Amino acid sequence: MTLSPLLQAQVRKRTKGFYYLLTPEGRAVEAKAKGNLFQKSKYDNQIAVGDRVLYQPQAAGQMGLIHEILPRQGVLSRARVGIEAEQVIAANVDQLVIVQAATQPEPKANFLFRLLVAANRGEVAPLLILTKTDLLAPVALENFLTPFKELKLPIYFTSNRQGGDEEALRPLLEGKTSVISGPSGVGKSSLLNRLYSGLNIKVGEVSQKTQKGGHTTTLAELHLVAPGTAVIDTPGVREFGFWGLNAQNLYEYFPGLEVYQGLCRHRNCRHLSEPDCRVKQALASEKIHPAIYRAYQDILTDLEG
């Protein structure tokens, strides 16, 4: 039997042990990972949704074999719960669309900052969408949004009852791969269905839990909505821990604090109570919004805890 050459495809979805791939022509292929692909680690998600892989096609009715993961550009990743390892939620993404509800559930600034840090770190451009504006008008969110406006985060509003910025959003997603992230129940899937009428993603699905450990498994799924335009729906994250970040490098990725890098008296300044700290001075003179500093402290405590 002659071996066929390796072909390229993109991971659309993964389940336990196998992968749904999309070929460049948009054809669906199922594949397993070659046995030695995970030699370096026992964790099974080294292949993420959005990954471009080289696979060997097999005879009809058999699964292809993934031989190699091609280098990634733009990732959304977090720490796996309870283990020191990176969990790549989505790979090869240009844009992180953060979705929060205006209310039910209430938007959380610290959570939003965590995703902004992850976006900086993964080299992905963030934007924010607030849903459920039928339940709470955008004006009621002004205080909440002030620090994010100061950071020049693009912000949009929408509702599945009344509509909103859909017409402005569609061109922003065109020609890009965007990962949609945010808590469960905020309306991520509903929004994608409104943006792209052919999608029919299930609404009201909650994150799947493993039977015992209770931590959430992220089952992201890539939808090719037009040639060159893809959206990756994720089931919703409740916790967003960091991988490979510490008290020394956190502020390099922290929105609004990166500019103070290297300016404090102490080279390893954590911007808590060190003398001659430029960050604390900027906070005192209202150049840094207190919500930004609060979120920084919150994440730092978490990293050091």
Closest CA relative to residue 234, chosen from 46, 43, 91, 83: 91
Distance CA 80, CA 88 (A): 9
Site string for ligand GDP, 191-220 (x = CB under 6 A): ------------xxx---------------
Q: Specify the DSSP class assigned to residue 207.
A: P
With respect to Mg ion, which residue has the nearer C-beta, 189 or 218?
A: 189
Binding partner selected for residue 289 from Mg ion, ligand GDP, Zn ion, none, CB under the kind-specific 5 to 8 Å limit: none
- CA angle, 241 as apex, 235 and 245 as ends, to 5°? 140
Closest-by-Cβ residue to ligand GDP is: 187
Tokens of 163: 């509509």
Stretch of 186-194, 196-204, 210-218, 260-268 lying at the interface with Zn ion (CB under 5 A): 260-268
Stretch of 14-22, 79-87, 173-181, 258-266 lying at the interface with Zn ion (CB under 5 A): 258-266
Report if residue 264 touches Zn ion, rule: CB under 5 A.
Answer: yes
With respect to ligand GDP, which residue has the nearer C-beta, 157 or 254?
A: 157
With respect to ligand GDP, which residue has the nearer C-beta, 126 or 164?
A: 164
Report if residue 12 touches Zn ion, rule: CB under 5 A.
Answer: no
Report if residue 277 touches Zn ion, rule: CB under 5 A.
Answer: yes
Closest CA relative to residue 303, chosen from 237, 249, 253: 249
Binding partner selected for residue 277 from Mg ion, ligand GDP, Zn ion, none, CB under the kind-specific 5 to 8 Å limit: Zn ion
Summarize the chain as % helix, strand, coil (round to 5).
25, 25, 50
For Mg ion, the binding residues (CB under 5 A) are: 188-189
**What residues between 149 and 168 interact with ligand GDP by CB under 6 A?**
159-161
Single out the residue of 64, 122, 147, 185 in contact with ligand GDP (rule: CB under 6 A).
185
Distance CA 28, CA 64 (A): 11
The tally of CA atoms less than 13 A away on the side-chain side of residue 5 is 2
249 to each of 88, 239, 252, 254, 271, how far by Cα in Å? 20, 21, 6, 9, 12
